[in-house]
Amino acid sequence: MTSLVDVPASAQTATRPSAPRRRRGQTLPFVLLLLGPSAVLILVFIVLPAVYGLWLSLTNTQLTGFAARDPKFVGLDNYTYLLTSADFLNSLGQTGTFLLFSAIIGQTVLGMVAAILLSRPWIRGKGFFGAAVLMPMVVPEVVASLTWASVLATSPEGTLNRVTNAFGGEPTAWLQTAPMLAIILVNIWRGLAFAMIMFQAALEDVPAELIEAARVDGARAVQVFRHVTLPLIRGPVFLYLLLTTISTVGVFGLVYFLTRGGPGGQTRIAAIYIYERALQFSQVGIGSAASIILLVIVLVLGAVYVRLAKVEV
Amino acid sequence: MKRTNVVAAFTASVVVAAGLTGCSSGGGDGSDGPVTITIMETKQTNIDAIGKEIPGFEAEMAEQGKDIKVELIADVLTDEQFMTKMTQQLIAGQAPDVLDIGENMAISWSSAGYLAPLDDYLNEWDGWSHYYPAVKEAMTRQDGQVYSLPSGAGVLNLFYRKDILTELGVDTTQPETWDDLIARLVEVKEKTGDTPIVIPAGTAWGGGTWGEGFMPLLGGTDTEFYDTETDTWDLESPGWLAVFELYDDLVSNGLMPVEDLQNPNPWEPTKYEKFPEGEIQVAAQGTWGWKFDWGPDGATPIEGLEEKVSTWQFPGLRSGDEPYGWSSTGGGYAISEDSEKKEAAWEFIKYLSTGEPLAEQLVASGAASARDDLDDVAPYSEEPQLLQAGKDLGESVFVVTGDGAAQIGQAVASATELILSGEADGQQAYDAFVKDATDLLGPTLVKE
Amino acid sequence: MTTLDSRTAAPVLNVRRRRRLRPVDVAQRTIGYVLIVLLALFCLVPFAWVVLSAVDADAGATVQIPAFSFDNFIRFFTASGTPLLLINSLVIAIASTALNLALGIAGGYALSRFAFPGRRLFMFGILLIRVIPAPATIVALYLIMVNLGLANTLHGLIIVQAVSGLPVTLWLMKGTVDAVPVELEEAAWTDGNTRLQAVRRIVLPLIGPGLGAAAMLMFMGSWGDFLTPLVMLQNQDLYPLAIGLFRAFSERNVIDWGLLAASAVIYVLPPAVLYMLVRKHLLKSSLGGALKG
């Protein structure tokens, strides 16, 4: 750090926003020092696993059995196995259902409702309601699952059962008879705050004059929303869809804690499938191939969203 | 900074080398200095049993002039959790010195090279000559070496609630065939509305579906499903389909607790709740049930166990099959390959496998002796069921398998899961199994 | 959670409105309140069990009127394994946040002040990295950790967590430092300060909000992390609260519900406390700005 003192005074006074170019020769060591460690660590702990995972997916690596001693390169065999495996395809299907209903529909709609309601000037208690909706998002995953374990409890005193009882329903073992529904509910609960936050910010950016103008023209609230607000917040909505897709596809603990992928593999979403294959069955090659497939799907979805968002802008 | 590291490393190694040469006047393997070995146990009864034996061992070692201490790592885990966790520790070189493992684990880990071969130690030990030949055969892995020393052996068969069946007026003599038994189970179901029998099935039961459910049923009707000459699995062998169809029969007649079997830890609502309550009347179970599961210190004790519960051999499945017991051994104590205290670890294993310490462990977990010289040793000598199991061991069936057992177990679990969920019948489950197993095993392990 | 009587509330707001409230508006507002109340209930009700059972001496698996007592909390702190869980969680989260912030401030400063070649690529690159779901790389990462000798160690886990939070922190810090005018630093230089002194005196105090946001995000990310410790740690003495709760819950038959609920409450507290402390420094705009960027 002593080299900093040596920068001549004349160079200092000449510094302007564009000036760094003049000192390019001297900035490089700074950049290396300040950013270098981060770059190296990111390379080793984030990029390298992805690359290594890709390599592993092309081998028959296992953690146990004879294959563990001597992993062989098997090319695309793992991929063909997975893409023709009913188990894996089921898992992808479940992930898709989970994603569609909890994130794309559930969180977005409810988050939007909350955002709209909390932006209404006539609502009292915004702070309280906002905090209430925020709670599920800020607690740790494991606690979120734990709270729902009680709600979904099988006995008649389970919270959900009491609610359905009030409407004349029978006590149900939710995690047995409707496991996918249960985890969708939990994920909606968990993620709607994030949607609300993003949409609140977006709604604020909608110029009030446009809304007033539409109102004056006689448009009802719903029409105002559809034709004025929605097009203007399209960008943030797609950004949200992208972000929630990424995070929902990566959900593991929330579901694993409650169901461990069961019963009978009905909630074995992709992340759980990968964990089971790679670590419980020690099939690292197959687990890595499944990971890559998952990654590709996320990238494709991301590209789709970006496309759709750009069309308007 | 790099240079100082190299210098530091060099200095350190010089110091260490000097230290070692200084100590080498005694034995070269550290048996003179104080040594602490670690052993891991994952079942409460074993934790208690080993805990009791440690002081005696340390005292005996002290008498021999060896300073060996034992650290017991107690972590109650299911077999699945243990397999996952220990595999990770073995790869990372962080496994305990002594491991207490099951057969599947012995096969998977020895094939991968994580366990130390014990043959040299065994051949020097006179205790080894007292082990039953059938047990020795079961312990020998594909490469001809032995990697674990069984702590006990058991016989797997069917435990049933004699008291309840008698009360219901159902025949309690040994059923000769599965058709006979199924007819009786249907009778029980009609009288009580229960699902009378539980046999491990499905993915939630993990490796137990194969080890304690499917394999015993398969081995009793077909011993050719694994070819030891070519070290391959014969998936075309007729027994496979027969057993899948048996599972299908049991499920389609509504005799198995399908819902419980599809949930995590399925042995709990079934063997630990409904069987003691009498809502499941027949359970596939091994000798250890007398102590480990339902004994007075077991997981869920059944009062008056000896009067209420009795055992049947597995009935014959296909025509011409005789009832049989399935011999369960193949696991036991092993030493991790990366351990630096193998000598000390072996001392401990020897101690645990001889005389009174062995007898105490067998009684605690409910296993029969794998040695022929234990029948007069108390407290083992005072347990009639265990002594009987020891005799049954001589007549029970066993099939030695090799690499790929874990994959077969996985494929069997998935295929039986299809039966449980009603998605497949016996034939379809079998077809799915063949495809899955072939994929998982790879071409080298499947018989042409 | 009291339901509001919307009819009496509406007229009070009349003062601000130019138009008088039509029945349509009243209906709209009623529906609005009903909806937001239902939403709030939906969000809060599941917590009822945790809160009630934590102070219930005979807690069960379902919501019941508690036999009020702090027994469960006492048992948490006196039982043999449980306080260690809390300590591990604290150590891991604090250390990884510290490491993350240290790297993030330095890196963010560099990204902001130096227009080096490849800067855009780097920013875009780390954004792209965020697309990768954690379960997809965890196994490969684990094997790499084994090779580095970092598997099953607390410091290994701390490094992994700190680094996985780096992309977000770097973006946040760059944005925050960008907002500090270069002229201020330059003025400090002309006053004879070294670059480092200028940073310490000028930049650091001004990046408080961004720093707070980054610290919150990182701490909460580490605190709630389940998958990474599950895969990386095998030693019981190293487990954080997340894994401890999971193990306790998956016992299934012999679950001590009261202790579990108390543990959950204890688990939730530290982030809440941190939020209280940091709240003053958080500005919504810095978060929103970073998100939009």
Distance from CA of A78 to the nearest CA of C (A): 15
pLDDT at A204 over 90: no
The kind and range of the H/E element at B72 are strand B68-74
Mean pLDDT of B161-189: 92
Q: Inter-chain contact A159–C143, Cβ cutoff 8 Å? A: no
Percent of chain A with pLDDT over 90: 34
Residue C280: the pLDDT is 66
Q: Residues B103-127: what's their mean pLDDT?
A: 90
pLDDT of residue B234: 92
pLDDT at A25: 57
Facing A17 at nearest CB: one of C48, C130, C182: C182
Q: Summarize the confidence of residues B130-150 as an average pLDDT.
A: 86
Mean pLDDT of B193-212: 91
Q: Do C143 and A52 touch (CB under 8 A)?
A: yes
In this predicted structure, the answer to whether residue A71 has a pLDDT above a threshold of 80 is yes
Distance separating alpha carbons of residues A232 and A234, to the nearest angstrom: 6
Please answer yes or no on whether B113 and A63 come within 8 Å at the CB atom: no
Residues A254-270, mean pLDDT to the nearest whole number: 87
A206 pLDDT more than 70: yes
User: Is the pLDDT assigned to residue A220 strictly greater than 80?
Assistant: no
Same-domain pairing of C196 and C235? yes
Domain count, chain A: 1
Tell me B197's DSSP state.
Answer: E
pLDDT digits (tens, 9 = 90+) for B377-404: 888 888 888 888 888 877 788 888 888 8
Find the residue in A nearest to C242 (Cα).
Answer: A142
Out of A4, A113, A250, name the one closest to residue C134 (CB). A250
* Lowest mean pLDDT across A271-275, C59-63, C174-178, C238-242: C59-63
Calculate how close chain A gets to C288, using CA atoms only, in Å: 7
Q: CB–CB of C142 and B88 under 8 A?
A: yes
Distance CA C71, CA C28 (A): 48
Chain A hits for C116, CB-CB cut-off 8 Å, are 24, 27-28, 31
Average pLDDT, chain B: 86
In this structure, the answer to whether residues C28 and C129 fall within a common structural domain is no
**pLDDT tens-place string over residues B42-58:** 888 888 889 999 999 99
At A282, the pLDDT band (50, 70, 90 cuts) reads: confident
C161 with C265, same domain: the answer is: yes
The pLDDT of C120-133, averaged and rounded, is 87
Range of the domain at A212: 82-312
Subunits next to B (3 or more Cβ pairs <8 Å) are A, C
Name every residue in B having a CB less than 8 A away from some CB of C. Answer: 73, 75, 85, 88-89, 91-92, 94, 264-265, 268, 272
Q: Are residues C175 and C43 in the same domain?
A: no
pLDDT per residue as tens digits for the range A142-164: 999 999 988 888 777 778 888 88
At C252 the pLDDT is 58
CA pair distance B239, B242, nearest whole angstrom? 5
Residues B201-210, mean pLDDT to the nearest whole number = 90
Residue C80: what pLDDT?
A: 81
Return d(Cα B311, Cα B326) in angstroms, integer: 13
CA distance A283 to chain B (A): 9
Tell me if C183 is assigned to some domain: yes
C105 and C234 inside one domain: yes
| Burial class of residue B243 (count of CB atoms within 10 Å of its CB; 0-12, 13-18, 19+) | buried
CA distance A162 to chain B (A): 23
Q: Three-class SS of residue B326?
A: strand
pLDDT of C183 reads: 85
Average pLDDT over residues B26-47: 74
Alpha helix (H) residue ranges in B160-237: 162-168, 178-192, 207-208, 215-221
C115 CB neighbours in chain A (<8 A) are 20-21
Percent with pLDDT over 90 in chain B: 43
CATH class, domain B154-327+400-445, is alpha beta
Percentage of chain C modeled with pLDDT above 90: 33
pLDDT digits (tens, 9 = 90+) for C40-64: 999 999 998 888 888 888 777 777 7
Same domain, C192 and C93: yes
C276 touches chain A (CB under 8 A): no
Residue C105 and residue C26 share a domain: no
What's the total number of domains in chain C? 2
Range of C48's domain? Answer: 6-54
For chain B, residues classed under CATH 3.40.190.10 are 32-153+329-389, 154-327+400-445
Which of A271-275, B351-355, C189-193 has the lowest average pLDDT?
Answer: C189-193
Contacts of C284 in chain A (CB under 8 A): 201
Best mutation target among B75, B88, B273, B275 (most C Cβ atoms within 10 Å) is B88
The answer to whether residue C61 sits within a structural domain is no
Between CA B360 and CA B380 the distance in angstroms is 7
Report the CATH number at residue A95: 1.10.3720.10
Chain position carrying tokens 């499917």 = B214
If you count them, how many residues does chain C have?
Answer: 293
Subunits with 3+ Cβ pairs within 8 Å of A are: B, C
Q: Is the pLDDT of residue C14 over 70?
A: no
Q: Which residues 87-116 of chain A have a CB within 8 Å of chain B?
A: 87
More confident residue, C70 or C17: C70
Report whether pLDDT(A1) > 50. Answer: no
E strand or H helix at C65, and its extent?
A: none
Q: Is residue C111, in this structure, part of any structural domain at all?
A: yes
Residues of chain C numbered 131-190 and touching chain A (CB < 8 Å): 131-141, 143-144, 159-160, 162-164, 166-167, 170, 182, 186, 189-190
pLDDT digits (tens, 9 = 90+) for A92-133: 999 999 999 999 999 999 999 999 888 888 888 888 888 889
Token duo for residue B42:
């994952």
Token pair, residue C55, equals: 């102070």
**One domain, residues C111 and C41:** no
User: Is C283's Cβ below 8 Å from some Cβ in A?
Assistant: no
Contact (CB<8Å) B268/C253: yes
Q: Which residues of A touch C271 (CB under 8 A)?
A: 138, 140
Question: What φ, ψ does residue B56 adopt, rounded to 5°?
Answer: -60, -40
CA distance C269 to chain A (A): 9
Tell me the residues of chain A between 228 and 267 that have a Cβ less than 8 Å away from chain B: 259-260, 262-265
Q: Which helix (H) or strand (E) holds B94?
A: none
Mean pLDDT across chain A, nearest whole number? Answer: 83
Interface test with B, best of C243, C253, C254, C255 (most B CBs within 10 A): C253
Cα dihedral C91, C93, C96, C99, rounded to 10, equals -80
> Are C50 and C80 in a shared domain?
no
Q: Which helix (H) or strand (E) holds B62?
A: helix B44-63
Set of chain A residues whose Cβ sits within 8 Å of the Cβ of C141: 45, 49
pLDDT of residue C19: 61
Nearest CA among A62, A95, A53 for reference residue A279: A62
Flag whether A51 is in a domain. Answer: no
The residues near B265 (Cβ < 8 Å, ≥ 6 apart) are B78, B204, C250, C252, C253
Considering CB atoms only, which of B85, B264, B268 is closest to C234? B85
- Residue B260 pLDDT greater than 50, yes or no: yes
CATH no. for B32-153+329-389: 3.40.190.10
Residues of C in Cβ contact (< 8 Å) with B268: 252-253
Q: Are residues C237 and C95 in the same domain?
A: yes
CATH classification at residue C283: 1.10.3720.10
Q: Do C20 and C152 sit in the same domain of this protein?
A: no
Q: Has residue B24 got a pLDDT over 70?
A: no
Residue type, A190: R
Give me the pLDDT at residue A313, please. Answer: 41
Q: What is the pLDDT of residues C236-293, one digit of tens each?
A: 899 999 999 998 887 756 778 888 889 999 999 998 888 777 776 665 444 444 444 3
Q: What does the alpha-carbon distance between residue C104 and residue C113 come to, in Å, rounded to a whole number?
A: 14
More confident residue, C12 or B220: B220
CB contact under 8 A, A1 and C231: no
> Which of B297, B273, B334 minimizes the C-alpha distance to B45?
B297
Q: Which residue of B has its CA nearest to C232?
A: B88
B169 Cα to chain A: minimum distance (Å): 34
DSSP C68: B
Residue that is written with structure tokens 């997975």 in the block: A82
Matching residue, tokens 């489950």: B429
Average pLDDT over residues A227-244: 86
- Residue A85 is predicted with a pLDDT of 85
Pair (C86, C40) in one structural domain: no
The residue-averaged pLDDT of B314-336 equals 87
Question: Stretch A11-26: mean pLDDT, rounded?
Answer: 46
What angle, 0 to 180 degrees and rounded to 10, lies between the N-to-C axes of helices C119-129 and C166-178? Answer: 140
- Residue A188's pLDDT band (cuts 50, 70, 90): very high
Residues C71-80: what's their mean pLDDT?
A: 86
